[in-house]
Amino acid sequence: MVEVRTRDVFAAMRPELDRVESRVEAVSEVDFPVVSSLVLDLVRSGGKRLRPLLLLLAGRAYHYDLDRLVTAAAGVELLHTASLVHDDTIDRSGLRRGKPTLNAVLPAGAVILLGDYLFAQSARLAAATENPRVVAIFASTLADICDGQLREMFFAHRLDQSRDEYEKRIYGKTAALFAGSAEMGALLGGAPEPHVQALRSYGADLGMAFQIVDDVLDLREGTQRLGKPAGNDLRQGTVTLPTMLYAARLSDVDGAAARLRSVVAGEDDGDNGGEMLGQVVAEIRASGVLEEATMAAIAFADQAKRHAEIVPDLETRDMLIDVAEMAWARRA
């Protein structure tokens, strides 16, 4: 039921999303043929275009100028792509969504520059909206994303972190751009200020829900669905909500606690077969924390739905609510 309805949202918005797609591809061209095709592949292999969808939905509820909405939507998608490119360089990931990353085929320096180039192109699109507030949101969202990624790095391999720290981190990493996308759409649609703020909150809560579900999926599903092995976060020392909930349940005398500490500390890397990692992942799955974390995601999605109620256009409101339900009902 939920699957059908969310598919409907994408189908309903297909013409606008296709325009975003063309815009993204047009600005991703680089003057170096080899690189150009790699960047285009990368951009085309992108995900569901959720951020552009949010921006378009938030705008269509009001008096939107479609061309500006499409421009801004292409901008947020490219900003997202650029940050993934740098993220993969930082993690030295060879795969994303089951496909080789740029890092698998280009030297690290070239990948850093291509990421910068995509940032530049996304900033050009933001500038092309000629809306100073949109540009300001765009820039501060980039700062928030960096903050989230820096937090992930500096809090890696640490079990002694609060839920508040986790939420700050995933806000920066994911929710900030969801929030910014919805806010930009509402602004470009000329929504009244309380609506702009409500849609921003909608995006933020939706983003939190999405990231928590991602963190659950990382532990629940393996290579086949995610294009990366299960427990990838743990392998990199990234402590997510399920792991935090699990750690809180373990007693210090338990062997499981020692195993978890060892895996988080990076003492059991993939090179040694990652046997202990596999065991810890199994123990986490069996403990019931994945369900508990999913409940936290549902709570965020419910908050998002309540924020969407301000939208006067009924069709758009329903679509926003459907997207919020998709947040936790989806699989990888």
Report the interface residues with a copy of itself, using CB under 8 A: 30-32, 35, 83, 86, 89-91, 107-110, 112-117, 119-121, 123-124, 126-128, 130-132, 135-136, 138-140, 142-143, 145-147, 149-150, 153-154
Nearer to a copy of itself, 115 or 242 (CB): 115
In the DSSP assignment, the letter for residue 94 is S
The torsion region of residue 44 among left (phi > 0), alpha (psi -120 to 50) and beta comes to alpha
**What is the chain's percent helix, strand, coil content, to nearest 5?**
75, 0, 20
Check: CB of residue 204 under 8 Å from CB of residue 175: yes
Nearer to a copy of itself, 82 or 212 (CB): 82
Q: Give the CA count within 13 Å in the CB-facing half-sphere of 135.
A: 10
Q: How far is the CB of 150 from a copy of itself (least distance, A)?
A: 5
Q: How far is the CB of 84 from a copy of itself (least distance, A)?
A: 12
**Residue type present at position 254:** D
Nearer to a copy of itself, 128 or 324 (CB): 128
Q: How far is the CB of 130 from a copy of itself (least distance, A)?
A: 4
Nearer to a copy of itself, 32 or 63 (CB): 32
Q: How far is the CB of 82 from a copy of itself (least distance, A)?
A: 9
Q: Computed over its alpha carbons, how large is the radius of gyration of the chain?
A: 20
β 99-100/95-96 pair status: antiparallel
Q: Is 306 helix (H, G, I), strand (E, B) or coil?
A: helix
The distance from CA 324 to its chain's CA centroid, rounded to whole angstroms, is: 14
Nearer to a copy of itself, 6 or 83 (CB): 83
**Residue type present at position 61:** A
Q: How far is the CB of 208 from a copy of itself (least distance, A)?
A: 19
